[in-house]
Amino acid sequence: MERIKNDLKKAVYENKQARRNRLEIGTKFNFLLNINGWRLGKVHVLLGTTSSGKSTLMRSIISDVIENNNIPKVSCFLSEETSEDYKLELYQGFKNLDFESRVDFYSEQDASSESARVQLLEQAFESESKILIYDNLTTSSIYGEDFQKQSTFITNLKRAAIKTNKALILVAHTNNVHRNGRELIDSGHVRGSKTVANIAEFFFVNHQISVDTNIYNFIQIEKHRGQEPESKLFRLDYAKGKRLYVTDRAQSFSDFKELWKMRDKL
């Protein structure tokens, strides 16, 4: 009997391990393939400074999910833009209307009260989508300014992601002191409560380096719970006509540091 119990326990663990190694949401981006893609029921945080390309990356991620999956929906909860403005941004990148039936939009700007904004967020979690993008967490009125309130809110977001089995992507800003590129940012520079970094299973940092007239964009995998990526730094290739990142490639830290030394300083 004891042997049967142990065999059953072993089967459970092996099944969990197999799930970790399975690509749950298809992607063409190498930085995601390195961690077996977005993980259902997990919290992913994307951190960047103001005007560092986070919005472009979010549009690129939406495009990537639609092109490489048959999942019913992608949900976007917006704090800074109206749904109509964000749809226009997507249209400029897609150049067609394919996204309209695949993406649901919920915007704080379309709600007249705090309770209405919270209700919209609840609707986003209750939707049939497999991915929920919260853009931008740290400028959201629900997130607020009080650190204790922020911590409680983030904890509740994680519980909701687990309950609904959604891949939750939280876009976050850094503190303003890091806006001018005086130092490399990491998870310790997130605006507001440190719970954002502590509670995330996956943490990405968006770096942008300007050298003369050239702009270089990178994504760094800082946290990757349960995954062992071969590379942790990737350069994103931007297609101006599409206003999207279309490809990415692994980048050595030594080459990245050389660019960082050459960067334009304000």
Q: What are the CA-CA distances from residue 157 to residues 133, 154, 167, 173 (Å)?
A: 12, 5, 11, 17
Q: What stretches in the chain show pLDDT beneath 70? A: 1-20, 176-182, 266
d(CA 188, CA 2): 47
The pLDDT score that the predictor gives to residue 20 is 67
List of domains in the chain:
25-262 (3.40.50.300)
pLDDT score at 181: 57
Q: What is the signed CA dihedral for 79, 29, 243, 45, rounded to 10 degrees?
A: 20
Q: What's the pLDDT at 12? A: 54
Residues whose CB falls within 8 Å of the CB of residue 67, separated by 6 or more in sequence, listed in order: 28
pLDDT of residue 182: 67
* Alpha carbon distance 85, 76 (integer Å): 13
Whole-model pTM over 0.75: yes
- pLDDT of res. 13: 53
